[in-house]
Structure 1
Amino acid sequence: MLERLKNLAIPLPEDIQKQEDAGYFAVAQDLIDRRLAGPLPHALRERLELEKNRLIELEGEYPFPYEQAFEMLQGEIRDFTKEEFDELIAENQVDWLYREGKMYFVRHFHENLRKVQHPVTQRLIVPEDAQAAKMKQDVLNGNMRYMKEHGGTAYYIRIRSTLKVGENGRIGEPITVHLPIPNNSPQVKNFRIHTLSPDAFVAPEDAESRTVCFQKNLEAGDEFTVEYSFENHLTYVDPDPDKVCAEQPSFCLEEEAPHIMFTPLIRAMCQEIVGDETNPLLKAKRIYEYVTDRVRYSYVRRYSTILNIPEYAAVNQKGDCGVQAVLFITLCRCAGVPARWQSGLFAAPYDIGGHDWAQFYVAPYGWLYADLSFGGSAHRLGNEERRTFYFGNLDPFRMPANLAFQHEFIPPKQFMRNDPTDNQYGECEYNDRALTLKEYSCEHTMVDIHQIG
């Protein structure tokens, strides 16, 4: 199923593209159906079928018309004016699109302003919790200092993940549910499942997107739950360019359509950033510094609606953790530095939720980490020590479930996933279709976390 996604790199017929650009999605859907009714090259047919689903998702990502979006910000920011709103639009601080000629704003546009600490948020009617924000910084800075002083760290983490189908679930019908669990990433040790339904299948530990799969007839009140624990062991690394080997590996350098592509823009950026540097560690560092400095952190719409994630980041100079990670990976590969995806959960004493980061390979050090969003956040706060730390190192507050970008589950899903890039909040499907995000919920609960080394 995911193999079809490479066809998103194929351009749309121009009449369909024009209708989409103007926001006439129903007209575009009709034009797609007209094309599909006739003979087409197989790849173009798949492209158009994928676009039909993408348009549905895209429209759902932008629910708020201009006036409603403005009123929402008025309710959150003291004395907020339309002039300020228009200025945010001109600054590209809020994401929007046209729907039938009118502006509609992305579902999390107002939350994004708080996340990036835009100056207008200094007038929040309900201020952010300064004590909680300080605690987060203290935890990250304390871990960094500990790892530097002791050469590493280790944590025991126990998590319970529960997925529930909504009240309109099709009771009595077969359903397949996938929930993420840790794979055999190098930092993971002593993985153990504590609670699991007897009808569940646990994917092999080397699965690149590892899940627990439940297959049963849906019953009223069903909760699909897995509770597991593992140890996260990390060694502090201070990589030295002078110790880099002359011979470097040739894996994880390929393009992967539709996202990891060496387009003219990516090649030009790579040349501009890397220049005549030949040391792979310094190449990766230049790319890391570029992304953490130039790409502003920003929530984005669902990845399934973005046709080329690295180019989105490069053109718009913004993106969330995964967008920044894929840009880093793509630029590294273009520069001849092996790089790959890693993602799962950020699982800290104060928070648990989905997160993405990257790895790059430099001999003799092997796989090193790069967390672009954490590094960029430290840079914005003026904490250059922590920015440098996240080039080569990672904190222990992670549950790595995915070691590859856009990889199939075991067993594979029959229908397209809500998040085809990886898996952090579970996926469900009936025998005839996938469930949408509105039809189920997934909650991760931290049962226990404590340092063991």
Structure 2
Amino acid sequence: MKTVCACGYFVAVLAVLATARPCPAETKAQFQAAKELIAKGEFREATKLLRPEIDPSAPTTSPAAIMLEVLDRTRADFPHSEAEITKQLRESIPDVKETEIEKWRDAGALQSKQIDGEYRYFRNAAANLFRLSKEARERREKTPEEKKGFDLDRLIGELNAIAKTADTPAIYPVKHHVTYTLSLKEGNPRLKPGATVRAWLPFPQEYRIQQTDVKLLKSEPEGVVAPPKTPQRTIYFEQVVDDKGTPPKFVAEYEFTAYAYVPTLNLELVKPYDEESDEYSEFTAERAPHIVFTPEVKKLVKEIVGDETNPLKKAQLIFNWVSENIPWVSEMEYSTIPSLSKKGLAARCGDCGVQNTTFITLCRAAGVPARWQSGFGTKPDEQGMHDWAEIYVEPWGWLPADASYGKRKSDEPAVRDFFCGHMDPYRLIVNLDYGRELHPPKTSFRSEPIDFQRGEVEVDGHNLYFDEWEWDLKVKSTPPEDKKE
């Protein structure tokens, strides 16, 4: 496992800037010099080169402005000094030694980055250390009590039993009632009377028989829902700031029904692909920068699948490998990560988006069509942002897969392997793809250019980052047994 350091971290930064307008010729030398400084961790010097090339009154659209914004976001993601991270660790390991901290850091278990000559530590480095290091867990003086959450494996067992006699793979409908609120914070200098605030909030897809009966109940102010099948679906708002400069608030209330998707899979029934089809070509292809078949990826795929030719079995082997080798940790903001799959394979850890993009990349490299989905997990008392995937296998078509939920700790194969080909009903599908243009398009570089979950905001074309507003998701889920007759 490698240390998360600045060196090499921004080698692919131009890929992050792919949607930016081109640099004028006279700025290219400064831009290249700034890239080289960033690669060496010299953020301060890079900033000095970039700032004169930027019009601070203009929205963030140029390569130089986006690069500077990414630097600022990276600094925010790595706020802790050596002294601060030591203090945090001593709350759990009172006698932790500097040599131990250095060892964990150099092994990549204590996530850090060299910025301007000093180690800076990831905002959740201390918590992630105990997820990544068995030694650190054993050194911890007090182990936090695990909260008993939703019994997902019990539900999986129930779903498997229902599926045996069902005449459709879509079973166990759960009615969801969602209230999503996005509120701008007080004191923002851009919230001047007469300024135009634009906001995009997440809105559910109508997705085959898995997510249906989508209905907007109300919105404040009146919003515009993106058309069905928009890759990243939104409800869009515009509001002019009043004479008092009151921070706007946007609310969307909607409902939908989500079904568990539990087809009966059998390796012996798998059919060969039509490799000439557009669908096969699109979803087995690279899509730089996040899906790239590097030599490492090709070698790893060969090690994982060997001579296996059955597409479903190949996907299962890859699913198991990701589940066992890419553990979940709290992740950096995606806008600062040049390639999610490269990050997952280099660090050998990541959050749900990193895990599932790694899974998608390995599947495609193995000739198994795979693609992205995301939105929210909506399990009772465990709602939160979540990403997963789909794989295409004939004769069933697109099958859900969640390499983050991964292999379950169960002796029952149907429970253990459930999430490679099946899905629970506690989902809110917002996105059918990643990195797609919003509806209507956003002016500035997005707070989250890859995923779309928390929302996006801009004032007179200027992006407002996540620390300038708050979001709140309230979900009431009603499973079948709770519905009144």
Do these two structures clear the TM 0.5 threshold for a shared fold by scoring above it?
Answer: yes
Secondary structure of 2:479 counterpart: strand
* Cα-to-partner distance string for 1:426-452 (whole Å, 9 max, x where unaligned): 110011310011100111112343336
Residues 219-368 of structure 1 correspond to what in structure 2 (within 5 A)?
Answer: 219=242, 220=246, 222-248=248-274, 249=277, 250=280, 251-368=282-399
Contact kept in structure 2, 1:209 and 1:402, CA below 8 Å: yes
Secondary structure of 1:64 counterpart: coil
Q: 1:255 to 1:27 in 2, by over 3 A?
A: same
Q: 1:228 to 1:77 in 2, by over 3 A?
A: farther
Q: What's the counterpart of residue 180 of structure 1?
A: 202
Contact kept in structure 1, 2:112 and 2:120, CA below 8 Å: yes
**Within the alignment, does 1:156 sit opposite 2:184 as a pair?**
no
Contact kept in structure 2, 1:62 and 1:96, CA below 8 Å: yes
Q: Distance in 1 between matches of 2:233 and 2:461?
A: 24
Give 1:403's aligned amino acid.
L
Q: 1:382 to 1:434 in 2, by over 3 A?
A: farther
Contact kept in structure 1, 2:232 and 2:437, CA below 8 Å: yes
* Cα-to-partner distance string for 1:400-450 (whole Å, 9 max, x where unaligned): 100001111111111111111121111100113100111001111123433
Q: What's the counterpart of residue 58 of structure 1?
A: 74
Q: 1:4 to 1:391 in 2, by over 3 A?
A: closer
Q: What's the counterpart of residue 141 of structure 1?
A: 153
* Cα-to-partner distance string for 1:289-310 (whole Å, 9 max, x where unaligned): 1111111222221111111111
Residues 37-186 of structure 1 correspond to what in structure 2 (within 5 A)?
Answer: 48-113=64-129, 118=134, 120-121=136-137, 127-130=143-146, 132-133=147-148, 135-136=149-150, 139-151=151-163, 152-169=171-188, 170-172=191-193, 173-186=195-208
Contact kept in structure 1, 2:270 and 2:394, CA below 8 Å: yes
Structure-1-length-normalised TM-score = 0.88
Q: What's the counterpart of residue 204 of structure 1?
A: 227
Give 2:172's aligned amino acid.
T
Secondary structure of 2:429 counterpart: strand
Offset, 1:221: 5.1
Q: Distance in 2 between matches of 1:61 and 1:357?
A: 24
Offset, 1:24: 1.6
Give 2:255's aligned amino acid.
S
Q: Distance in 2 between matches of 1:101 and 1:294?
A: 32
Structure 2 unaligned blocks of 5 or more: 1-13, 23-28, 56-60, 164-170
Contact kept in structure 2, 1:7 and 1:258, CA below 8 Å: no
Q: What's the counterpart of residue 30 of structure 1?
A: 48
Give 2:376's aligned amino acid.
L
Structure 1 unaligned blocks of 5 or more: 38-44
Q: What's the counterpart of residue 40 of structure 1?
A: none
Q: What's the counterpart of residue 398 of structure 1?
A: 427
Give 1:94's aligned amino acid.
L
Offset, 1:103: 0.6
Give 1:100's aligned amino acid.
D
Q: 1:396 to 1:118 in 2, by over 3 A?
A: farther
Q: 1:336 to 1:231 in 2, by over 3 A?
A: same
Give 1:327's aligned amino acid.
T
* Cα-to-partner distance string for 1:81-108 (whole Å, 9 max, x where unaligned): 4343233213311211112111110111
Greater mean alpha carbon deviation, residues 252-261 or residues 422-431: 252-261
* Cα-to-partner distance string for 1:267-315 (whole Å, 9 max, x where unaligned): 2222332222222112211211111111122222111111111111112
* Percent of pairs with identical residues: 28
Structure-2-length-normalised TM-score = 0.82
Contact kept in structure 1, 2:356 and 2:403, CA below 8 Å: yes
Offset, 1:68: 0.8
Secondary structure of 2:404 counterpart: helix
Q: Distance in 2 between matches of 1:428 and 1:36?
A: 21
Contact kept in structure 2, 1:266 and 1:311, CA below 8 Å: no
**Within the alignment, does 1:450 sit opposite 2:476 as a pair?**
no
Secondary structure of 1:348 counterpart: coil
Offset, 1:32: 4.6
Greater mean alpha carbon deviation, residues 335-344 or residues 76-85: 76-85
Offset, 1:148: 0.4
